Amino acid sequence: MRVATWNINSVGARLPRLLEWLESAAPDVLCLQELKSTADAFPYEAVQALGYEVAAHGDGRWNGVAILSRVGLDDVVRGLDGGPDYEGVQEPRAVSATCGPVRVWSVYVPNGREVAHAHYAYKLEWLKALKAAVADDAAGDRPFAVLGDYNVARADTDVWDIKLFEGATHVSALERAAIDELEAGGLAEVMPRALKYDVPFTFWDYRDLGFPKNKGMRIDLVLGNPAFNAAVKDSYVDREARRGKGASDHAPVVVDLEL
- The residue annotated as part of the active site, out of 149, 158, 220, 238, is 149
Residue 234 bears catalytic tag? no
CA distance 204 to 27: 23
Q: Is 28 annotated as a binding residue?
A: no
Residue 57 bears catalytic tag? no
Contact 21, 244 (CB under 8 A): no
CA distance 238 to 253: 6
- The residue annotated as part of the active site, out of 52, 108, 122, 150, is 108
Q: Is 249 annotated as a binding residue?
A: yes
Secondary structure letter of residue 102 according to DSSP:
E
Task: State the Cα angle at 39 between 37 and 41, rounded to 5°.
Answer: 60
Q: Is 63 annotated as a binding residue?
A: no
Q: Is 7 annotated as a binding residue?
A: yes
* Integer angstrom CA distances of residue 154 from 45, 120, 220: 37, 16, 10
Residue 122 bears catalytic tag? no
- Least Cα distance to 108 among 87, 88, 86 occurs for 86
Residue set of the binding site for Mg(2+): 7, 34, 149, 151, 249-250
Q: Which residues are catalytic?
A: 108, 149, 250
Residue set of the binding site: 7, 34, 149, 151, 249-250
